Amino acid sequence: MFSIGNGRKVDLWNDKWIEQAPLKQLYPDLYSINQQQNSTIEMVWGEQEWNLSFRRALNDWEIDRLASFFGTLEQFKGTSTDADCLIWLRNKDNKFTVKAAYRVLTISNNQSGTWPWKMVWRVKIPHKVACFSWLLAREVVLTQDTLMRRGFNLCSRCFLCGKEAETISHLFLHCSWTDQLWKIFINLRGISWTMPGRVSDVLKCWNSDTNPSNQKERCKIVSACIWWTVWGERNNVSFEDKAIRIQKLKLKCLGLFFFWCKHSLMEELESVYDVLDSLQED
Ligand SMILES: [Zn+2]
């Protein structure tokens, strides 16, 4: 098994390094659509996150697999300046080798915590949702514009407002429906906000550093919460009266926000009003 130093000699998919079997064997489905099939770790590890891309946008059911794949990669603590080396945790005499074990323990941890890694993965939300945010930031979610680029002949219309073409930035940032969800949180925070053009820019700008830490954690949940709600609604378009639907959408979003604050942040909250009050910035 390999112990990773600078990652130059070890192949991400084909070598044994993070699990007892190569990742190719553990995740053949993801391997088959990955575009870095013969890359070394050095080539795909970008300081704080994995630069992986897929030949096509992932389907909904594949997001679970991706979540589990990233769960495995989470064990990796980053590269160092040392060379990669092979390790045996037990030597020929069946004795534990301190040297090898020591190496495993001292693999340098050079992750500095800045965006985008942190804003996607270090947020206390379900792993599957974090994966979805990551796909969004990379702009590989299966919206209609992605399908059209893949050759599907569609007349693209946003499922929510029905007015504009469905693109990632329209659906998740600028759609009049999504905008109403953003406004709830913008008003609660009492900040002035101009919506950026891309999901990745939202991740960079939305977070506020001046907050107390629990408030900061709550803020980090907001974007994922809005996106997850919108995506659910988009895949579940009903023929209800639009006025009722938008109210339901808002309630769903706030309900989810409350649920994540309570369960992921372990906050003692009596009602959704508590969490809303606490979002306000001084
Ligand atoms: Zn729309």
Q: What would the pLDDT profile of 104-131 be if each residue is shown by its tens digit?
A: 444 433 333 344 566 777 677 888 888 8
Choice between 34 and 276, residue whose per-residue pLDDT is larger: 34
CA of 49 to the centre of ligand 1 (A): 31
Residues 62-94 pLDDT 10s = 887 888 888 888 878 888 888 888 876 544 544
Q: What pLDDT score was predicted for residue 100?
A: 47
For the chain, which residues make up each domain, given as ranges? 2-106, 117-278
Choice between 209 and 186, residue whose per-residue pLDDT is larger: 186
Residues 237-248 pLDDT 10s = 766 777 778 899
Cα of first residue to Cα of last residue in the chain, in angstroms, is 53
* Beta carbons of 168 and 139 less than 8 angstroms apart: yes
CA of 190 to the centre of ligand 1 (A): 25
CA of 3 to the centre of ligand 1 (A): 48
CA of 146 to the centre of ligand 1 (A): 16
DSSP 8-state assignment for residue 49: E
CA of 58 to the centre of ligand 1 (A): 22
**Structure-block tokens of residue 265:** 């942040």
Burial of 276 (0-12, 13-18, 19+ CB in 10 A): middle
CA of 10 to the centre of ligand 1 (A): 45
CA of 256 to the centre of ligand 1 (A): 21
Q: Please, which residues have CB less than 5 A from ligand 1, an ion?
A: 158, 160-161, 175
**Structure-block tokens of residue 166:** 């469905």
d(CA 82, CA 2): 13
Q: What is the CA radius of gyration of the chain?
A: 22
CA of 121 to the centre of ligand 1 (A): 27
CA of 170 to the centre of ligand 1 (A): 6
DSSP 8-state assignment for residue 2: E
Question: pTM of whole model > 0.85?
Answer: no
Q: What pLDDT score was predicted for residue 4?
A: 86
CA of 4 to the centre of ligand 1 (A): 46
CA of 112 to the centre of ligand 1 (A): 37
d(CA 47, CA 117): 9
